[in-house]
Amino acid sequence: MATTAFEPLISAAWGKPNSWKLDEYKKRGGYKGLEKALEMAPAQIIDEVKKSNLRGRGGAGFPTGLKWSFVPKDSPKPKYLAVNGDESEPGTFKDRYILEHDPHMMLEGIAIASYALGVHTCYVYLRGEFKFQAERTNAAIREAYAAGIFGKKVLGKDFQLDCYVVRGAGAYICGEETALLESLEGKKGWPRLKPPFPAVVGLFGCPTVVNNVETLASVPHVFTRGPGWYAGLGTDKSGGTRLVCLSGTVNRPGVYEVPLEATFNQLIFDDKYGRGLPAGRKVKAVIPGGSSAPILSPDELDVAMEFEAVKVKQTMAGSGGVIVMDDTTCMVRSLWRVARFYAEESCGQCTPCREGTPWQTRLLRKIEEGRGEPGDVEILSNVASSIAPYPPIGLGNTICALGDAAALPTHSFLMRFRDEFEAHIREHRCPFGDKPWGAFGDWS
Amino acid sequence: MLTTKPFETYEAPAMAEPLFTPEEQKKFDAEIAEILSHYPADRKSAAMLPALRLLQELKGWLPPEGLKLVASRLGVTPERAYEVASFYVMYHLKKPGKYVVDVCTNLSCALWGAEKMLAYLEQKLGLKAGEANERFTLRETECLASCGTAPCLQINEDHHESLTKAKVDAIFDKLS
Ligand SMILES: Cc1cc2nc3c(=O)[nH]c(=O)nc-3n(C[C@H](O)[C@H](O)[C@H](O)COP(=O)(O)O)c2cc1C
Ligand code: SF4
Ligand code: FES
C-alpha cells in the first residue's frame, strides 16, 4: 500500500456540479482509458485487467480479468455484456451513487470491456425501483451516442457497440447472475444450474459476461493509470480501492471509498467515516458484507475489508454492505427480519430454500413473540443446516447461493448469541421489550 | 424443446370498453416498437419486462386485456405474460390505490425507526400494511438501497429518504 495520501478513484467527483454530464467527465480525463484500450489488441486488454488484480464488486469477488478470459474467442455466436445493477442485498447502496453521480465512468468501463470481449450489445440491468438512476443512466447513454462513443463506431474505431438500460420489477433474486439473464430474456427470475457458466452459455444461449456496476466503473482506472499502479493500491490479491456502504447504528452512515487495507474498526469509528456510535453505546455485532454475510463480534473488527482477510473469519466482504448493531439491539428480532427477507425473495425453485426459509422465519417469530419452546433453537439450527451447512461458506444444497445467503445469518447469530435466543424462550418474552432496535430505533 | 403456441391462435374476448384511448394506443405502439428494437429479431419475448412496465405506466396496473395484448405483440401466450407479471412485486395485477406507498422495513431501516414510521403511516392513512383503498395502497417492502439514508419509502416509484415525521407529513400533504 502506498504511503501517499489516499486518493478516491470512483467517488472523486461525487457531489460536484454536473458530475454526471459527459463534458464534466471529459474535463476530468474521462474516456482517456478507453482511448488507450482501443490502441491495444483485445487479448492485451484482458491481460492488463488480470495484472491489475481487479476483483468483482458484486459479491463474490471473482477476478475480473480471469472471468473475461473464459469467454470463448472462436465462438460464432454473438457475445453479450450484462451489467448487474440490481443492488438489492440489504445493506448495499453503492452502485446507485455511481449511477447518480458518475454514470460515464461505468459507461467507459462498458466500452472497454465490450471491445476486449467482442461484445456488440450491452444491457444494463437496473433494479426496478431505480427510476431516477435509470433516467440518469439513459441520459448519459444518449450523450455517449451523440459523442460517437457508442453506436456504429466507438471513438472512430470500426467497432459497433449498442447499450440499453433494462429495469427489473422488484425481485432480489434477479441480482443472481443467471436469474438476471433469465429476467433479461423476459422471464421470471429463476436461477439456472451452473455449469455451464454464463461466460460460455449466457444470454440467449450466447457467451455473456455479467459484471457489477462498480466493477465496470473501476475498469477505466486500470487503463488511465496502468495495471501496476492499480494493483499497487490494494493488497496482494486484490487491486484498487472499493466502495463500502455503512449503515445501522452509527453516527454517520453513508458510502465511503476506502483503501482495501482499511479495517471495520476504522470504518465505524474514524472521523473520516462513521464517527462511532451514539454516546454510551457499544458495538454488539457487525454484518460485514450485506445481510447474508455471517456477523462479526466487536473483537473481530480489526480485520481489513478485503475479500481474503474477511474470508479468514469465515464470513465475506460480499457487496460491501456493513451494518452495525449496538448493544441494545435484539438479535432475535434482527435475525427474524433478515430471515423474512430471504423467505420473501426465494424464487421457490428448490425445496430446501422454498420450504426452509419460511420455516426459519416462523420459528424466529415464535421465539421473538415469547412463544418459543425448548428445542426450537435446535430445530432452527437444523433447518438452516438443511439449506446450507456452515462453516465454511458455500456448502448450500440449492441451485443458487440465495440458499446460503438465508442460512448463513442464522448459523452465525446462533454461534455468537445462542444465550439470547435461549433467554427469549426461558422468559417467554423479548428481553428488549418494545425497544428491540437499538439506540436509533425510535423515530420522530 | 418446448415450443409455445403463437398467441394468434387465441381469440381475446370482446371488451366492454377499449383498453386504450387513441393517444394511449399511439404511445403504446411507438414505444413497443422502440423496445423491440433493443433485442434480436428472433427474441421478441425478451422485451416482456419493459413491455409490462409500459402497459402499467399507461393504465396504472396490468389489466387482463393488456396482458393479452402484450403477449400477442411479443409472440407468446398470455399465460407466459401472466407468469412473469405475477413473479415481480412491482407489477400490479389488481388495480392499486392512486398512490402506492412502499415502506422499507428491512434491517438498516428498522435500526433507524422504520417500524415506528410504518405504524405512523398506518394510523395516518387508516390502513394496515398490505391493505388498499382508492387513494392509497400501503405495503411493507424490502431494502430499497437507501440504508445509509434511512428510513425511506417510495410513492409510485418516487423515492424519499432520511425521513422524519415532519418530512413524511410534508410529502403526504402535497399529494392531490
Ligand atoms: C442471491 C444473489 C443476489 C445477488 N445480487 C447481486 C446484486 O444485486 N448485484 C450484483 O452486482 N451482484 C449480485 N450477486 C452476485 C452476482 O451473481 C454476480 O456474482 C456478480 O454480478 C458478478 O459481477 P462481478 O464479477 O463484477 O462482481 C448476487 C448473487 C446472489 C447469489
Ligand atoms: S436457492 Fe432459493 S432462490 Fe436460489 S434457485 Fe433455489 S429456491 Fe430459487
Ligand atoms: S434497509 Fe431500508 S433501504 Fe436498505
Residues B53 and B108 in one domain: no
SS3 call for A211: strand
CA of A90 to the centre of ligand 1 (A): 13
C-beta atoms of A443 and B117 within 8 A: yes
What is the mean predicted confidence (pLDDT) over B25-52? 98
Residue B13, domain member (yes or no): no
Residue nearest to atom 13 of ligand 1 (CA): A175
Residues B103 and B83 in one domain: no
Q: Give the C-alpha separation, A272 to B119, whole Å.
A: 35
CATH number at residue B41: 1.10.10.1590
A32-45 b/e (C-beta count within 10 Å ≥ 16 → b): ebbebbbebebeeb
Measured between CA atoms, the residue of chain B closest to residue A91 is B147
CA of A150 to the centre of ligand 3 (A): 34
Q: Which ligand is closest to the CA of A396, given by its number? A: 2
Q: Quick one: pLDDT at residue B12?
A: 52
Residues in chain B within 8 Å Cβ distance of A246: 148
Q: Quick one: pLDDT at residue A234?
A: 95
pLDDT in tens, A55-88: 999 999 999 999 999 999 989 999 999 999 999 9
Whether residue A72 lies within 8 A of chain B, CB to CB, comes out as no
What is the mean predicted confidence (pLDDT) over A398-425? 98
Measured between CA atoms, the residue of chain A closest to residue B47 is A186
Closest in B48, B110, B115 to A186, CB measured: B48
The minimum-distance atom of ligand 2 relative to the CA of A346 is 3
SS3 call for B87: helix
Q: Quick one: pLDDT at residue A5?
A: 79
- pLDDT greater than 50 at residue B1: no
C-beta atoms of B108 and A90 within 8 A: yes
**How many alpha carbons lie under 13 Å from residue A169 in its C-beta half-sphere?**
25
Q: Give the C-alpha separation, B49 to A168, whole Å.
A: 7
What is the mean predicted confidence (pLDDT) over B25-38? 98
Q: Quick one: pLDDT at residue B9?
A: 44
What is the mean predicted confidence (pLDDT) over A384-389? 98
Closest in A189, A204, A345 to B43, CB measured: A204
Residues in chain B within 8 Å Cβ distance of A249: 111
A243-326: CATH number: 3.10.20.600
What is the mean predicted confidence (pLDDT) over A104-120? 98
Q: Quick one: pLDDT at residue B17?
A: 83
Q: Give the C-alpha separation, A277 to A279, whole Å.
A: 6
Residues 268-287 on A with a CB inside 8 Å of B are 287
CA of A390 to the centre of ligand 2 (A): 18
Residue B135, domain member (yes or no): yes
Whether residue A344 lies within 8 A of chain B, CB to CB, comes out as yes
What is the band of B14 on the pLDDT scale with cuts at 50, 70, 90?
A: low
Residues B104 and B161 in one domain: yes
According to the CATH classification, is domain A22-232 in 3.40.50.11540?
Answer: yes
Residue B143, domain member (yes or no): yes
Residues 171-200 on A with a CB inside 8 Å of B are 171-172, 183-189
The count of domains in chain B is 2
Sign of CA dihedral B64, B55, A344, A369: negative
Mean pLDDT, all residues of chain A: 97
CA of A350 to the centre of ligand 2 (A): 6
pLDDT in tens, A359-380: 999 999 999 999 999 999 999 9
Task: List the strands of the sheet with A241-248, edge to edge.
Answer: A254-259, A241-248, A321-326, A283-287
Closest in B46, B88, B158 to A185, CB measured: B46
Whether residue A135 lies within 8 A of chain B, CB to CB, comes out as no
- pLDDT greater than 70 at residue A404: yes
What is the mean predicted confidence (pLDDT) over A126-155? 98
Whether residue A434 lies within 8 A of chain B, CB to CB, comes out as no
The distance of A66 to chain B (nearest Cα, Å) reads: 28
Peptide bond into A288 cis (omega under 30): no
Mean pLDDT, all residues of chain B: 93
Final residue before a domain boundary, out of B42, B64, B87: B87
What is the mean predicted confidence (pLDDT) over A293-317? 96
Closest in A131, A168, A329 to B111, CB measured: A329
CATH number at residue B152: 3.40.30.10
Final residue before a domain boundary, out of B36, B61, B87: B87
Residues B105 and B169 in one domain: yes
The second-level CATH assignment, the architecture, of A331-438 is: Up-down Bundle (1.20)
Closest in B49, B74, B159 to A169, CB measured: B49
Q: Quick one: pLDDT at residue A170?
A: 97
Q: Where are the domains of chain A?
A: 22-232, 243-326, 331-438
- pLDDT greater than 50 at residue A159: yes
Residues B64 and B105 in one domain: no
Residue B56, domain member (yes or no): yes
What is the band of B13 on the pLDDT scale with cuts at 50, 70, 90?
A: low
Q: Quick one: pLDDT at residue B176?
A: 84
SS3 call for B113: coil
pLDDT in tens, B70-99: 999 999 999 999 999 999 999 999 999 999
- pLDDT greater than 70 at residue A317: yes
Q: Give the C-alpha separation, A57 to A318, whole Å.
A: 8
Residue A197 φ/ψ, nearest 5 degrees: -85, 155
- pLDDT greater than 80 at residue A1: no
The distance of B75 to chain A (nearest Cα, Å) reads: 12
- pLDDT greater than 90 at residue A434: yes
Q: What is the dihedral of CA A323, A326, A327, A328, to 10 degrees?
A: -110
Residues B104 and B170 in one domain: yes
CA of B116 to the centre of ligand 1 (A): 32
What string of DSSP letters covers A386-415?
HH---SSS---SSSSTHHHHHHHHHHHHHH
C-beta atoms of A253 and B151 within 8 A: no
| B149 CB near ligand 3 (under 6 Å) | no
| A179 CB near ligand 2 (under 6 Å) | no
pLDDT in tens, A207-266: 999 999 999 999 999 999 999 999 999 999 999 999 999 999 999 999 999 999 999 999
What is the band of B5 on the pLDDT scale with cuts at 50, 70, 90?
A: very low
Final residue before a domain boundary, out of B38, B54, B87: B87
Residue A442's alpha-carbon distances to A107, A434, A439, B121, in angstroms, are 41, 10, 8, 15
For residue B141, the enclosing domain spans: 99-174
C-beta atoms of A437 and B115 within 8 A: yes
